[in-house]
Chain A
């Protein structure tokens, strides 16, 4: 019975309600976008490491970030191999490079990633399957489909030049590191040496997989003890978290999007507050009548809250649907891996309900003023 009252109240003035719902829905879409971008920034900052399989990582003590990894002597990898509990040891090299599309003569930046020959260090099926296409022959590369269009056509068989050396694209993968470079390219360690001409004793990252049954923390401690201080040892979790924190907190990418969420939240709450107080102001006599009929004040509060809730949900649902479309458009426009996950949808739903509670509490204070004696 009560739910019907709030339902009828909400839909009594269809135009006003739909304008309010549209306003709140746009705030919710904005929240979706901002959180989506933030999440994408967080995800892309460590997306490379999601593609690599390792339990422990060895870095130079000057390791800053994926973009600026520095390097260390690969003799440390051999040292790591003898630590009890260490299973396999592999390596990864990273370097920024210049990609030249010979057709257009346009030069773009790219991140050159060399992976280990052993597919055990890979977590991405597509890369594992195509690993052979870049290890069989030198100067063959795997090109990221989400690269900037200026790199030229994303096709198997095309050529380009990296640091003046001709390379052939023999397979494709998908990563989208648009925040860091125009394109990403995976090569074998041999090709990497060929292109970058880095001292062949140097590596950017050492990847360690534990032997079956070994305890990660114990192995990490043992490695820290037996290896010199110019390399750092991290467990997978702490390494990935540190990487995200650097991007989100030190480079202040986080605040850019959180600020947008905050303002959008306030806007949504203000619109909801506005429409609720308007609603109560016009219905104050009806509420007073309800009171006079003996309904408790709490009943009237519940009716008010239900209206807030109905409007919040009605705004959330189209916002969710539209956001799916906007995410798709943003994915195309920004070449970032933007996806609307269920977690994100639930989190925004929680924010929408929070919006509804705050504006409800503020607007419903006026219900107390409904005085049966003033009815006439």
Chain B
């Protein structure tokens, strides 16, 4: 066993033929890419559906108890905000209004359903890049902001254009970037004043979400409990992160995405095992004399096992890296063209890496017999 530290035998055997190695690694990298694609789409679907909560600039959010997910239209009375403001820790309570309207595509004339978000322009409750500079613009009557990342079905819409939204004309005061998901194809933002004149109808006192900002250093958990107690069971009190997690749970439960992408992930894994097995098997077959020589000079079986498993590990790491690079490029491409949020987070990279290592080790075990059967007597 001492020798294994001095000579990186497995690595040297593997890199002996560079061209062949490159081809082998491309096979493993592709299997890694399949796994990344499937993991990416599964999470992309969930993350996209939960794209709004992380944008809420609030410490706690109030909503109607029957609003089981953000696409349900249940609202609550705005006096809930006043009730919350009674607590010393609550600094501000901002209403957010949300409903869908119909936007006419200026090029084709078609009406398409779009999501409208409204809020007081003096305390914009959304964390969207550059939105602060539109506070004054939003105060002008009938002026809206358009989400430039909305789907192309709404046509080409630019700042300064006049658009028709639910039978009324509005001026596009500027563009912001929010992004669509599977339920919402696009967004329009407006001030609560504009909203109240045109969209409230007979529900003047109803708001979709109540966004609370707390005094720095407040114990959020304990305040949440006291607020819940005060507001009663008809109102949910949650942090934006809790809402995000609830949205993801809802999506995984209500769509068959887990089964659909899980099967894909499994297939990618199986392909990886087979590719890796094939590579190792060919390697070992080609280098059978070397293994036989090792046996002849007295190395134990354990040493051979060690070499083969090390090879498998090297293959998994070396194949994972180009797969990861491919994944990064693919995610960027998919996010750009489909607007699905493809986040490549460390836990997701870690998951695929673990699967890759597991896949190669499994292949190593399968190919092991070949190396152990190397017979010194057959050398000549």
Contacts and interface: CB of A to CB of B under 8 A. Distances in A.
| Chain B binds chain A | yes
Interface of A: 15-16, 19-20, 22-23, 26-27, 29-30, 33-34, 37, 61-62, 64, 68, 107, 109, 148, 178-179, 181-182, 250-252, 255-256, 259-260, 263-264, 266-267, 270-271, 273-275, 277-278, 326, 329-330, 333-336
Contacts of B275: 23, 267, 271
B37 to A, nearest CB: 6
A267 B271 contact: yes
A260 B37 contact: yes
A366 to B, nearest CB: 12
Given A19-B278, A179-B256, A330-B263, A263 B338 contact: no
B119 to A, nearest CB: 24
B340 interface: yes
Contacts of A22: 274
A134 B254 CA distance: 27
A132 B309 CA distance: 68
B interface residue count range (under 10 / 10 to 19 / 20 to 34 / 35 or more): 35 or more
Contacts, number: 113
Interface stretch (B28-36, B233-241, B290-298): B28-36
14 contacts: A19-B274, A23-B271, A23-B275, A30-B271, A33-B264, A109-B254, A251-B185, A259-B41, A260-B264, A267-B30, A267-B271, A267-B275, A271-B27, A271-B278
Top 5 nearest A-B pairs (CB, nearest first) are A334-B256, A252-B338, A333-B259, A23-B274, A30-B267
Nearest to B182: A251
B26 A33 contact: no
A210 B47 CA distance: 46
A260 B285 CA distance: 33
B277 interface: yes
Contacts of B330: 259
Contact of A263 (B30, B45, B112, B339): B30
Contacts of B37: 259-260, 263
A43 B27 CA distance: 34
Interface of B: 23-24, 26-27, 30-31, 33-34, 37-38, 41, 45, 68, 102, 111-113, 151, 153, 182, 185, 254-256, 259-260, 263-264, 267-268, 270-271, 274-275, 277-278, 281-282, 285, 330, 334, 337-340
A323 to B, nearest CB: 10
Given A64-B113, A263-B37, A19 B256 contact: no
Chain B interface secondary structure, helix, strand, loop or mixed? helix
A334 B274 contact: no
A361 to B, nearest CB: 16
A271 B278 CA distance: 9
B190 to A, nearest CB: 19
Contacts of B112: 64
A334 B259 contact: yes
Contacts of B259: 330, 333-334
Contact of A335 (B182, B185, B256, B270): B256
A109 B253 CA distance: 11
A148 B253 CA distance: 9
Contacts of B285: 16
A34 B45 CA distance: 16
Contacts of A109: 254
Contact of B33 (A181, A263, A330): A263
A61 B167 CA distance: 12
B264 A267 contact: no
B256 A274 contact: no
Given A64-B112, A266-B30, A270-B26, 9 more contacts: A26-B274, A33-B263, A33-B264, A252-B337, A255-B334, A326-B263, A329-B263, A334-B256, A335-B256
Nearest to B333: A259
B112 to A, nearest CB: 7
Contact of A270 (B30, B260, B270): B30
A16 B274 CA distance: 11
Contacts of B268: 30
Contacts of A15: 281
Contacts of B23: 270, 273-274, 277
